[in-house]
Amino acid sequence: MNGTGNIVALRPFPDAARLELNDQQLRTNLRRATHTIRDKRLRVVGEVDDWEALRRAGAAIKDDVLARLPELLERFEESATRAGAVVHWARDAAEACEIVTRLVTGTAAREVVKVKSMATQEIGLNEALEAAGIEATETDLAELIVQLADDTPSHILVPAIHYNRSQIRDIFRSRMPGVTDGLTDDPPALAEAARRHLRAKFLSATVGISGANFAIAETGTLVVVESEGNGRMCLTLPETLISVVGIEKILPTFSELEVFLQLLPRSSTGERMNPYTSMWTGVTPGDGPRTTHIVLVDNGRTATLADEIGRQALRCIRCSACLNVCPVYERVGGHAYGSVYPGPIGAILSPQLTSSGANSTLPYASSLCGACFDACPVRINIPEVLVHLRQKGVDAKRGKPSAERAAFVSLSWIMRDRRRYAAALRAARRGSAPLRGRGRLRRLPWPASAWTDSRDVPLPPKQTFREWWAKR
């Protein structure tokens, strides 16, 4: 069954990318932001002596989870239920939205507060709640900015990365109740305005909605990793808490967190640890919500699981490191990908979750430079999956005019600035680019050698980007 919701691009990637490329502001903001986070990440990753061992463990734990998923899901359901949570299952986005909407309506609440969550964005929950007359307030500062601006997020981690401070001030002035023209564009002043606006909501909300970064099968515990404290507010103050969780978020035992709590913060924000991590198990009398629901969502994940090469995308812990190192993402921004999952991970995850439509152009939204694999804390070989998905796409469409072909041409256009592209490649040299050199596979120095040595590397059907470029 295919996934549905906000993971389906409406336009083929080249069309969307062409539009976004006109936005100079976006590109400037994006470039500065991704480079800043990327540098911070390299610094804090460099502090960890056993980083490669942690990456290997992280990848292997996730693979083990995928192999044991049925048992672990049942175990999770049993533990969470025993701890007082109510567990629901949803086949696709529509079913997940319907379950959450029914739960909210059942409480008579007309307003809910939300923690930033990829899963709820994926299923289009805000739109569904709105249709049912329920107002959902995003409480993460960046999500709030995007919501007030009637926009969509452009980055997994910093969704409002495409706005600068004066644009944010203007959005607050015109859209945030109680904000006056006196509001300056000083970041602390803007954060203070958001604090005041949201605190009233936190203290009155009776229903909170979250996702989860991890779900522990052994104990039924959910884990949310965040920075601002808005997550803690949503998770502890309301009477009812509803958490929407992809079925791949399971970890077997609590102790597995020792790996992921090291990998995730350093990879995502470039911090040694994010300011707040919350863990809760069912209901604790006297502390936090009195009712907790967990909605386990498939939405194309089981279809992705079926593909031997593609399933590694399900290891993803949504850290966004791959976005920040991607030369294509840096130039077109998140919106061009059309799905809530942008960048390299989006290019392999969205088409697999949905398996048709404009998403099939996404595997071409890459130069295959390999920087994403190098950055990924759970060693998802994104270039390998990209090439695999291209191959699948070509096989399916042989002889027909191909949208992929158009996408490929367009990508070259995006990457035409040769100097920048060369710089991006240089930056990615530590990566594991599956590039062809004079007709045979180039052997790369460690750690990329691990890739070229141990794999039968699938190559693009006709030519690589570099070859194609050389002939231009």
Partner 1 sequence: MSSARTEILARVRAHRPASAPPVPRDYLPDVPGIDVVEVLVDRLADYRAGVHRASAATLPGVLAGLVATSSTVVAPPGLPAEWLAEVAGPVLRDFPGAPISVADLDRPGVTVVTGAAVAIAVTGTLILDAAPDQGRRVLSLVPDHHVCVIWTDQISGGVPAALARLADPSRPITLISGPSATSDIELNRVEGVHGPRRLDVVVAARS
Site for ligand SF4 in 378-437 (CB under 6 A): 378, 380
Q: Determine if 375 is a binding residue for partner 1 (CB under 8 A).
A: no
Binding residue for partner 1, selected from 38, 162, 311, 335, defined by CB under 8 A: 311
Site for partner 1 in 276-295 (CB under 8 A): 276-282, 284, 286-288
CA distance 240 to 103: 9
Q: Does 199 bind partner 1 (CB under 8 A)?
A: yes
The CA dihedral of 119, 123, 124, 125, to the nearest 10 degrees, is -70
- Binding partner of residue 278 among partner 1, ligand SF4, none, CB cut-off 5 to 8 Å per kind: partner 1
Q: SS3 of 313, please?
A: helix
Cβ nearer to ligand SF4, comparing 213 with 267? 267
316: nearest Cα among 51, 52, 54, 62: 62
Q: Which of residues 174-213 bind ligand SF4 (CB under 6 A)?
A: none
Burial of 160 (0-12, 13-18, 19+ CB in 10 A): buried
Query: DSSP string covering 432-458, please?
Result: ----EETTEEPP--TTTHHHHHH----
Among candidates 1, 8, 15, 6, which has minimal Cα distance to 336?
Answer: 15
Stretch that binds partner 1, among 266-274, 326-334, 367-375, 399-407 (CB under 8 A): 266-274
Determine the interface stretch with ligand SF4 among 184-192, 357-365, 377-385, 415-423 (rule: CB under 6 A): 377-385
- The answer to whether residues 294 and 88 touch, using CB atoms and an 8 Å cutoff, is yes
Q: Using the rule CB under 6 A, is 322 a contact of ligand SF4?
A: yes
Tell which one of 11, 31, 63, 430 touches partner 1 (CB under 8 A).
Answer: 63
Minimum distance of ligand SF4 from residue 317's CB (angstroms): 5
**Applying CB under 6 A, does 327 fall inside the site for ligand SF4?**
no
Report CA dihedral (24, 27, 30, 34) to the nearest 10 degrees. Answer: -150
Q: List the single partner that 395 binds among ligand SF4, partner 1, none, CB under 5 to 8 Å by kind.
A: none
Task: Please state the separation of Cα 136 from the chain's center in Å.
Answer: 21
Stretch that binds partner 1, among 104-112, 130-138, 227-235, 354-362 (CB under 8 A): 227-235
Residue 134 makes contact with ligand SF4 by CB under 6 A: no
- Judged by CB under 8 A, does residue 123 bind partner 1? no
Subset of residues 339 to 358 that bind ligand SF4, contact rule: CB under 6 A = 345
Residue 67 binds to partner 1 (criterion: CB under 8 A): yes
**Residue 16 near partner 1 by CB under 8 A:** no
Nearer to ligand SF4, 65 or 375 (CB): 375
Which DSSP symbol is given to 159? T
Does residue 108 bind partner 1 (CB under 8 A)? no
Q: What minimum distance in Å lies between the beta carbon of 91 and partner 1?
A: 5
Distance CA(119)–CA(137), nearest Å, equals 16
Which residue of 103, 198, 378, 435 would you call a contact of partner 1, by CB under 8 A? 198
Please give the Cα distance from 436 to 158 (Å, whole number): 35
Interaction of residue 61 with partner 1, rule CB under 8 A: yes
Q: How far is the CB of 324 from ligand SF4 (least distance, A)?
A: 9
Does the bond joining 289 to the residue before it have cis omega, within 30 degrees of 0? no
Handedness of CA 462, 465, 466, 470 (dihedral sign): positive
Positive or negative CA dihedral for 15, 21, 22, 26? positive
Binder of partner 1 out of 43, 102, 165, 416 (CB under 8 A):
165
Exactly one of 19, 39, 74, 106 binds partner 1 (CB under 8 A); that residue is 74
Dist CA 318 CA 125 (whole Å)? 19
Q: How far apart are CA 323 and CA 156, in angstroms?
A: 8
Q: Which is nearer to ligand SF4, 222 or 378 (CB)?
A: 378
Q: How far is the CB of 244 from ligand SF4 (least distance, A)?
A: 18
Q: Residue type at 331?
A: R
Please identify which residue in 319, 340, 365, 433 interacts with ligand SF4, judged by CB under 6 A.
319
- The rounded distance, in Å, linking the Cα atoms of 351 and 294 is 26
Residue with smaller CB distance to ligand SF4, 318 or 331: 318
Cis peptide before 342 (omega within 30 of 0): no
CB of 282 to ligand SF4, least distance (A): 28
Q: How far apart are the first and last CA of the chain?
A: 41
Residues within the interface to ligand SF4 (CB under 6 A): 267, 316-322, 345, 375-378, 380
